[in-house]
Amino acid sequence: MGTTATAAPRPEGDDDTRTLAVIMHTAFFVLLGASLARFLLRHPGEPRTPWVVALSLFLALLYVLGPALGARLTARRLAWLTAVVATWAVLVTLAPSFAWCAVPLFYTGLRTLPARAAIVLVGGLTALAVTAQAQLAGWPDPNVLLAPPAVAAVATAVFVVMERQARRQRELIDDLIRTRRELAATERREGTLAERERLAREIHDTLAQGLSSQRMLLQAADRLWDSDPGTARTHVRTAASIAERDLAEARRFVHDLAPADLAEGGGLLKALRAVAERAATADLTVRVHAEGSPAHPLPALVESALLRIAQGALANVREHAGARTATLTLTCLDDEIVLDVADDGRGFDASANEARPATSVRGHGLPAIRARLRQLGGTLTIESAPGEGTVLSAAIPLEPPV
């Protein structure tokens, strides 16, 4: 099945230019016909009549050929304009009444030639028209001497000003189109960067943490393989279970689906318990508490973000805190939901850590958590001190921020 090409919309100025050209061409033929009729009525049977008729027909035929040459100045277009003006000049010399045809020729010259050359042409046409009309009047009529130059000046000024405005409008339209293209390219680049950041967060919160846990379990199994093979096999089975879970996460990640723990049903609290169970080790106990319940089902983005935040926070506890216990507390308030992750580990200087730029924070965990919360209008609070453990608090409003 073929596709249908859609033509680009034509600028409104092109339609106006074509309309004006049709009006001017029609006016030329009307004036040419009226001038010829006037001459035949007032000068029947004169020796110059055949020449006037022949030149009128030749000028009409010559003028008809003009639109086919286009409006752009070329050698053929310039030769055509020269022939039209020369033929008209001969006609005016033979019959001064043909001077009225100068007005459409003003437009033709202004549209074809550069501004200065066109003004010179208009001046020559006007001078010839004034001379012819003065000869026809038989005496120096002030109206004949002043009216044609005034009309020519007004027509030329209006045309030149309109052309300049049209050129500025075209330039503005071109600038607008170029700006829109640049804006679209910028939006595409920003979208690409945002998608890369999202992918980095997803990989860190799922696959990277799972691989880190598997490595720790397999290293522990390797150390205990000879002395305690039962525990070593337990570590291997746990690592295999984590690998299976990460495989499911990877598949859902490829299809951009919800986290596997949420997709299994049971809500956010059940998913948090599953995450806590996997994060627990022989040296780390992880508990989950809930305070209150939301009045309405939580948005999927909020549930997914809180689950990923819990995963990232527990990964930091397991790898850096040296804690023996960690607690996940989910608190549902009227206008927000808060996830607290507390541990009794070695802690750190939270004020110094907050003062660092995001790129200097060790690992990718905290920047990823902040980015997730920022997308949902949430906030992150960290309370910690060396030797006193850490409390990470992530709050997300249940209504869109104003």
pLDDT tens, residue by residue, 39-54: 888 877 788 888 888 9
Q: What is the pTM for the complete model shown?
A: 0.43
Domain ranges for the chain: 13-140, 266-402
Summarize the chain as % helix, strand, coil (round to 5): 70, 10, 20
Q: How far apart are CA 234 and CA 24, in angstroms?
A: 95
DSSP line for 373-400: HHHTT-EEEEEE-TTS-EEEEEEEESS-
Type of residue found at 124: G
Sign of dihedral through CA atoms 126, 131, 135, 139?
positive
Q: How far apart are CA 176 and CA 181, in angstroms?
A: 9
Q: Are 305 and 368 in contact (CB under 8 A)?
A: no
pLDDT tens, residue by residue, 105-160: 887 888 778 878 888 888 888 888 888 777 766 666 676 677 777 877 777 777 77
User: For position 380, what pLDDT does the model report?
Assistant: 92
pLDDT tens, residue by residue, 320-342: 888 899 999 999 988 889 999 99
User: Both tokens of residue 296?
Assistant: 């309405």
How many residues are there in the chain? 402
Alpha-carbon Rg for the chain, nearest whole angstrom, is 43
State which H helix or E strand residue 114 sits in: none
Q: What is the 3-state secondary structure (H, E, C) of 16-31?
A: HHHHHHHHHHHHHHHH
- How far the first Cα of the chain sits from its last, in Å, is 48
Q: How far apart are CA 371 and CA 259, in angstroms?
A: 18
Residues 260/261/264/265 CA torsion (nearest 10 deg): -140
Architecture of domain 266-402 in CATH? 2-Layer Sandwich (3.30)
User: Which stretches of the chain drop beneath a pLDDT of 50?
Assistant: 1-13, 355-363, 401-402
